[in-house]
């Protein structure tokens, strides 16, 4: 595969994360894919947000699972942006999408949307939760699954294989040549998060990685340090 550049929550270093504004900016900046995060609202909507609560990224408070979609719609996610649902991103973004399941209960709902929308080829599904990926792999075996991990112990390859993942997304600060070599030997591609500084990009090359998730437009990230507040997927 050619090197894959993924816009992390859009381009969260310069736009409000996980908003349509951020995803559209990422697409204009030429990323190969955009990454987003999914939780279920109280009434079962696929809400695009990283945290389990709305507190950090909106002007509201409370766990997503305790709020209805109507309540979430009233929140400001930054610069006047609303909190999108997954279907809106599918409609407004044309590039491939990495959808990360944060709430394992979202797996079945996501699978249903991908099937109904005929988007099984454009969307890959990521998660730290092996059981969520296994469910997606069972329900929609044609959908690409990506194991996300920060614990890069000896079980990383068998874990990826068990959920049908041909790509793993790993913490750059934990990556070693040994981990990359073991994955590549098993036919599993490796991308890293979060790659923002010139030093980070140099490390991706030194490790022979296949891709990177970045908080910044790629050209900008290679030239300056990341904005404050960047974090893991």
Instruction: Convert the pLDDT of each residue in 27-83 to its tens digit.
Output: 999 999 999 999 999 999 999 999 999 999 999 999 999 999 999 999 999 999 999
CATH 3.20.20.70 fits 4-149+156-165, yes or no: no
The whole-number pLDDT of residue 221 equals: 66
Q: How many CB atoms lie within 10 A of CB 145?
A: 23
Q: What are phi and psi of 5, to 5 degrees?
A: -105, 120
Query: Omega of the bond prior to 194 within 30 degrees of 0, cis?
Result: yes
Q: Pairing between strand 4-8 and 33-40?
A: parallel
In this predicted model, what pLDDT tens digit does every residue of 118-159 receive, in sequence order? Answer: 999 999 999 999 999 999 999 999 999 999 999 899 999 999
Task: Say how far apart CA 23 and CA 194 lie, in whole Å.
Answer: 17
**Domain locations along the chain:** 4-149+156-165
Judge whether 175 and 151 are in contact, CB under 8 Å: no
Quick check: is 50 catalytic? yes
Pick from 209, 146, 135: which is nearest to 177 by CA? 209
In this predicted model, what pLDDT tens digit does every residue of 161-218 receive, in sequence order? Answer: 999 999 999 999 999 999 999 999 999 999 999 999 999 999 999 999 999 999 998 8
The whole-number pLDDT of residue 219 equals: 74
Q: Which of 39, 50, 129, 137 is catalytic?
A: 50
Q: Which of 8, 39, 129, 137 is catalytic?
A: 8
Q: Which residues pair with 123 in a beta bridge?
A: 97
Quick check: is 39 catalytic? no
Q: How many CB atoms lie within 10 A of CB 81?
A: 19
């Amino acid at each position: 595969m050619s090197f894959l550049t993924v816009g992390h929550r859009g381009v969260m270093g310069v736009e409000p994360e996980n908003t349509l504004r951020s995803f559209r900016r990422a697409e204009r900046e030429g990323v190969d894919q955009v990454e987003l995060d999914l939780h279920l609202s109280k009434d079962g909507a696929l809400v695009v947000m990283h945290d389990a609560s709305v507190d950090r990224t909106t002007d509201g408070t409370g766990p997503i699972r305790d709020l209805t979609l109507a309540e979430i719609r009233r929140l400001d996610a930054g610069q006047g942006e609303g909190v999108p649902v997954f279907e809106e991103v599918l409609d407004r973004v044309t590039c491939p999408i990495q959808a990360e399941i944060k709430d394992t209960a979202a797996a079945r709902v996501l699978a249903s949307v991908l099937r109904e929308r005929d988007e099984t080829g454009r969307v890959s599904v990521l998660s730290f939760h092996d059981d969520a990926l296994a469910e997606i792999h069972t329900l929609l075996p044609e959908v690409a699954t990506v194991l996300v991990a920060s614990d890069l112990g000896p079980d990383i390859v068998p874990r990826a294989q068990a959920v049908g993942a041909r790509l793993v997304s790993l913490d750059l600060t934990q990556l070693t040549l040994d981990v990359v070599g073991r994955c590549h030997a098993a036919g599993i591609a490796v991308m890293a998060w979060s790659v923002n500084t010139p030093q980070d990009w140099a490390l991706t090359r030194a490790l022979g990685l296949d891709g990177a998730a970045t908080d910044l437009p790629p050209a900008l990230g290679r030239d300056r340090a990341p904005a404050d507040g960047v974090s893991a997927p």
